[in-house]
Amino acid sequence: MTKIGFPSRQHLARKASEIVPVLRKHAPWAEENRRLHDEVIEAMADAGVFRLRKPKRYDGYEVDAGTLVDVLAELSRGDGSAGWVATVYTIPGWMACMFPDDVQDEVFADPDTRICGTLSPSATAIPAKGGYVVNGRWQFISGAHHSQWQEIIAILVPPAGEPHPVMALVPMSDLRIVDDWHTSGLRGTGSVSTVANDVFVPADRLQPLVAAINGEPMSHRTAESKAFRVPLLPVAAASSAGCVLGMGRAAKEAFFERLPGRKITYTDYDSQRDAPLTHLQVADATMKLDEAEFHIHRLATTVEAKATEGSHWTTGERVLARADLGQAVRLVRESVDILATASGGTSIYTDVPIQRVARDIHAVHQHALMHPNTNTELYGRVLCGLTPNSQYV
């Protein structure tokens, strides 16, 4: 613990590392049942995972971006689905801190509040007496089964003026869960769809999305903290990077655990370790993982430095945050693919971890805000002197 009573980065990373065996034990169950095991949620709560982005005034930790990377990488080293859900909770959890104090008092009343959410505006909000009525459906709601709240995005249709995107906080009890999560990767995340049918949202629990995109809290107490003086997309990018790194490390560990004693079938190599091809593969995969770590740490360092300074984010810096994340995803996916290819035919059995890691990183690679091609194109567009063609910067 630090002198002021909050856990240090090393302490939190160590606590996350200590529960890796629990995450690995329940990973097959999560795959089969398409959601995390309750014991995994309990273990992460005990390790302080759900307090990472919670404000200190609610007994949270308000950790910096580097700590998020270290902790979430350890969790994903244990199980990609567990690491992904923990990652997702940190982003809507941060967004909840953009709301007024009375809303935060309600949302963070639980010691281990878990907030799921999305950035897709696939709903409408219509003004009503004292608030708004929301109707819509959201996909890919990771961790919905274990959440108390969902951060939703909708298009507000005002009586006058232009429709615009808003964010709102809704109790999970007000939403219907649709069990439609049948996927090839990240199966254990339980990323189901949720539906709002004429859900009433009080006025103070709905705010313009731009407040989060620009890092402009409605709470003066929140605004005093450097953790919340950063635009949303760099925060989300830095929050997601550790999970990706952890998956790469998990694949590397899984490969080397199986290497001793493995032969290469239909060759004279009694040990795969002796083959020059193996040497090339593991070096290439490791170097790609090292390169990914460079982009991840540059991203986290930039987010933390600018948060500490409270300085303005340029458009170039914002799109570079997404580009760093996209490049990390590409490199980790390539690293995992090399190791999975080198793992032989027996690696396709479901009890061999590397096949699950490979499917998980491919699922991450397809995420709209993490896809390397999308993020690199956005960065290149700005480098060429054009304005971003996305609000999500």
Share of the chain above pLDDT 70, in %: 99
Residue 127 in this model has a pLDDT that exceeds 80 = yes
Q: 171-180, 225-234, 299-308, 351-360: which has the minimum mean pLDDT?
A: 225-234
144-167 pLDDT per residue, tens: 999 999 999 999 999 888 999 999
CATH number for the segment(s) 115-207: 2.40.110.10
What residues contact 68, with CB distance under 8 A and at least 6 apart? 52, 53, 90, 238, 239, 242, 300
Please give the pLDDT value at position 21: 98
Q: Which CATH class is domain 9-113?
A: mainly alpha
Residues 35-59 as b or e (16 or more Cβ within 10 Å = b)? bbbeebbebbeebbbbbbbbbeebe
Query: Per-residue pLDDT for 223 more than 50?
Result: yes
Q: What is the pLDDT of residue 220?
A: 83
Structure tokens at 351: 């009890």
The distance in angstroms from the start CA to the end CA of the chain is: 35
Task: Kindly state the average pLDDT of the residues 301-329.
Answer: 96
Question: Given this model, what pLDDT does residue 1 score?
Answer: 45
Q: How far apart are CA 208 and CA 323, in angstroms?
A: 26
Give the pLDDT confidence of 24-73 residue by residue, as tens digits: 999 999 999 999 999 999 999 999 999 999 999 999 999 999 999 999 99
Mean pLDDT taken over the chain: 96
- Between CA 12 and CA 48 the distance in angstroms is 7
Q: What is the DSSP letter of 97?
A: T
DSSP lists the bridge partners of residue 176 as 195
Please compute the mean of the pLDDT values over residues 296-304 and round it to a whole number: 97
Same fold, 9-113 and 115-207: no
Residue-level pLDDT at 226? 87
What number is the average pLDDT over the span 268-275?
95
Q: Could you give the 3-state DSSP secondary structure of residue 260?
A: coil
Q: Give pLDDT, residue 4.
A: 54
- What is the CATH number that goes with domain 230-383? 1.20.140.10
**pLDDT at 185 > cutoff 80:** yes
Find out whether 94 and 62 touch, Cβ atoms under 8 Å.
no
- Boundaries of every domain in the chain: 9-113, 115-207, 230-383
Q: What pLDDT does 140 receive? A: 97
H runs (alpha helix) in the chain: 9-18, 20-33, 38-46, 65-78, 80-96, 101-107, 209-213, 220-223, 232-258, 276-309, 315-341, 353-365, 372-383
Judged against a pLDDT cut of 60, whether residue 3 lies above it is answered with: no
Residue 221 has a pLDDT of 86
* 112-128: average pLDDT: 96
Q: Is pLDDT above 90 for 224?
A: no
pLDDT digits (tens, 9 = 90+) for 229-265: 899 999 999 999 999 999 999 999 999 999 998 999 9
In this prediction, residues 81-89 reach a mean pLDDT of: 98
